[in-house]
Amino acid sequence: MTEPDTLFTHDPLAWLKPWQRHDPPSVHHSQTSMDAATSIKPKAQSLREKVLELLKTEALTDEQIATRLNLNPSTSRPRRIELTNMGLVQACGTAKTASGRTAQLWRATPTNADR
């Protein structure tokens, strides 16, 4: 058994490859997810800004965000999730998608809507 004082002397993330410790995040067991995160990194900040600016004007679903910005949903949704995790975007209701399903509406938080 490991002694209690030496239990956490190593970096618990040391086994991760460098591209797994990055922003934007990826699914660590998926090489394609890691590759996608690496390829989007140079554009992620400007894409987050576009999503945030759009959500300052009105509440939209992820589907609507992708459509309005002419982005693949797999590009726009992660940027909205990042903004939500940063506290810049919040849920504010629901709306129907094009397929008739109910989806979450998102908007800029009140403190960010005026900026």
Contacts of 27 (CB under 8 A, 6+ apart): 33, 34
CA nearest neighbour of 62 among 41, 86, 91, 40: 91
Does residue 61 sit in helix, strand or coil?
coil
94 vs 101: CA distance, rounded Å: 10
Q: Say if 83 falls within a structural domain.
A: yes
Tally of domains in the chain: 1
Q: Say if 1 falls within a structural domain.
A: no
Q: Say if 10 falls within a structural domain.
A: no
Q: Say if 13 falls within a structural domain.
A: no
| Residue 96: domain span | 28-113
Q: Say if 75 falls within a structural domain.
A: yes
Q: What is the CATH number of the domain that holds 78?
A: 1.10.10.10
Q: Say if 9 falls within a structural domain.
A: no
Average pLDDT on 24-48 reads 79
Tell me the pLDDT tens digit for each residue of 62-102. Answer: 999 999 999 999 999 999 998 998 999 999 999 999 999 99
Tokens of 60: 């939209």
Residue predicted with more confidence, 108 or 16: 108
